[in-house]
Amino acid sequence: MQISSLIPSYISDIQSSDVSPLFHHYQDDLQANDTNIHKAEFDTWRFSILRLKENERPNKIIETLEFIQSIKFFYPNIYILLQIYALIPVSVASAERSFSVLKLIKTKLRNRTDDERLSNLAVINIHKGIAQELNIENVIDEYAKSKRKLNFSNQDK
């Protein structure tokens, strides 16, 4: 059971029996641990949502939390579940990918790379598809046009 089923736009096909595993899973976080209370609260929540026109029903978690804010005392367990849903990250895969890319890039050979270069290398590695579509000749031309100060002598030191 997905917590997202409690969002008003998606609630029309959901029954209290469909939601009971959700209440059971998060029972330690909820105010009441009684299945009858959970069923009654969900049925009342569903009934109040179905009375709204379809275009008036919130379809995002933030909109739903704003909608329920003034009536949260009538639906304390639903409100808690919606708060939990808002706190659960959609996906942590992108963060994990960043760390594994960082381990690949920052090897012993590149240990002294500054932050900006390391960040740029990480972005290129993460977005390989875009990087592969770049025209190398254009990149070299842009680099050649830039003014750079390279010191090839030890006179200034």
What tokens were used for 97? 């990918």
40-97 pLDDT tens trace: 999 999 999 999 998 999 988 889 999 999 999 999 999 999 998 888 765 555 566 6
Q: What is the pLDDT of residue 74?
A: 93
pTM of the complete model: 0.56
Of 135, 153, 22, 44, the residue nearest 88 (C-alpha)? 22
Residue pair 75/44 in contact (Cβ under 8 Å)? The answer is yes
Interatomic CA distance for residues 132 and 78, integer angstroms: 47
